[in-house]
Amino acid sequence: MSTYYKAFFMALITAYFLTPFAKWVAKKIGAIDVPKDNRRVHKKPIPRLGGLAIYLATLISMLIFLPIDRTVISIIIGSTIIVITGIVDDTKSISPKLKLFAQIVAASILVVGGIKIEFLTNPFDKGDGLLYLKAFSIPITIFWVVGITNTMNLIDGLDGLASGVGAISALSLLFVASKFGYVPVMILCAILAGSALGFLPHNFNPAKIFMGDTGALFLGYMLSAIAILGVMKSVAAITIVIPILALGLPIFDTTFAIFRRFINGRPIMEADKGHLHHRLLDKGLSQKQTVLVLYMISILLGILAFILTGMEPEKGVIVSGLILTIILLGASSIGLIDLRRERISKSDNIES
């Protein structure tokens, strides 16, 4: 059995059996989601510290299957800061500014560890095809990490959604990294996917435990780092498009939400009920059906990312344009970018 399979199943089994422990810890420290208003679909208190199991399973598997170098150490330290922030927020709630500060610190640690976006590919450049970011490398890296970290948190709105999409995104990046021969990145992808899937049986509708900010922020942070290591350090024709597609569901859903709130004069960080899963629920789909549809969309985007990897520059640009057009048309048809009015949804299916 290859190292990838061993790492995947090690993480999966560990996360599965650590989740009851996370549930016990949640009850001890008061990390409980109590349904106090009509935004909650659950009728009884649910522990929301499942992300602790995902984190521990990932950490244990990384220590076993990856060489402990500067890169791995920076990921461990940065993700630990994210998890500690999430635990505090799931227990007592912290201010958005403090949470953002912690995320910036965690992102900066990746930069110190050598994980940064140093260049972007330019498919129209007849030379080496690279646009070196130089002084902009650090701020762009921090923006990417903080942004992806929060996109995963923003789609954590239905039982099993964030954990399933996180696993699919990790597997998509695994296949992309395999084209470049990035073995350590492939192992890390397998570990993260296994940890998320090991937690999923406890979290799928009806959920016995939520991952909370602890898990959603951790998954987003890890995926942002993996995308840099597994794609953005390559010289593929369109490196920026590939990770955006592999992480497409949370990225596009969050992007549409930002534009929707901005046009309607609402705070960008204010929660609303216009996300993709809300739209599908409005169409009459059940929670399980909605989550399964979103899994399929995420898988499709991952396949497209894999197809684009290594494609000739001219073809890659054309295909990327077609994909973006289809996404925009689909988002418009379902109401994700309906900017003419503020839609009030009857869907209150917010997990945490």
Residue-wise DSSP of 314-328: HHHHHHHHHHHHHHH
Distance CA 172, CA 298 (A): 9
Could you read off the pLDDT of 169-226 as tens digits, one per residue?
999 999 999 988 899 999 999 999 999 999 999 999 889 999 999 999 999 999 999 9
Alpha-carbon distance of 299 to 65, in angstroms, equals 26
> pTM value?
0.89
For residues 241 and 301, the answer to whether their CB atoms sit within 8 Å is no
d(CA 71, CA 236): 22
First to last CA, the chain: 39
Secondary structure class of 267 (helix, strand, coil): coil
309 or 314: whose pLDDT is higher?
309
How many CB atoms neighbour CB 272 within 10 A? Answer: 16
Spatial distance between the Cα atoms of 321 and 305, rounded to a whole number of angstroms: 13
Residue 261 or 19, more confident: 19
Structural tokens at position 145:
């990490």
Residue 324: pLDDT above 60? yes
**pLDDT for the residue 341:** 47
Q: According to DSSP H, which parts of 92-182 are helical? A: 96-112, 137-154, 161-180
φ/ψ (deg, to 5) at 351: -75, -40
Which helix (H) or strand (E) segment holds residue 337: the answer is: none
Whole-number Å distance between alpha carbons of 182 and 231: 9
pLDDT above 90 as % of the chain: 54
Which secondary structure element, helix H or strand E, spans residue 44, and what is its range? Answer: none
Amino acid 348: pLDDT: 37
Q: Are residues 82 and 109 in contact, defined by beta-carbon separation less than 8 angstroms?
A: no
- Contact assessment for residue 239 and residue 231, using Cβ atoms and an 8 Å cutoff: yes
Confidence of residue 350 (pLDDT cuts 50, 70, 90): very low
Q: How does DSSP assign 269-299, residue by residue?
A: TS--S-SHHHHHHHTT--HHHHHHHHHHHHH
What is the average pLDDT across 83-98?
92
pLDDT for residue 119: 84
pLDDT grade, residue 274 (50/70/90)?
Answer: low
Which is it for the CA torsion 239, 245, 193, 228, positive or negative? positive
With cut-offs at 50, 70 and 90, classify the pLDDT of residue 285: confident
The 10 Å Cβ neighbour count of residue 266 is 13
Q: Per-residue pLDDT for 18 more than 80?
A: yes
Select from 51, 108, 50, 109 the least CA-distant residue to 77: 109
Taking each helix axis as running N to C, give the angle between helix 248-263 and helix 161-180, from 0 to 180 degrees, rounded to the nearest 10.
Answer: 120
Mean pLDDT score, 158-165: 93
DSSP of 223-252, one letter per residue?
HHHHHIIIIITS--TTTTHHHHHHTHHHHH
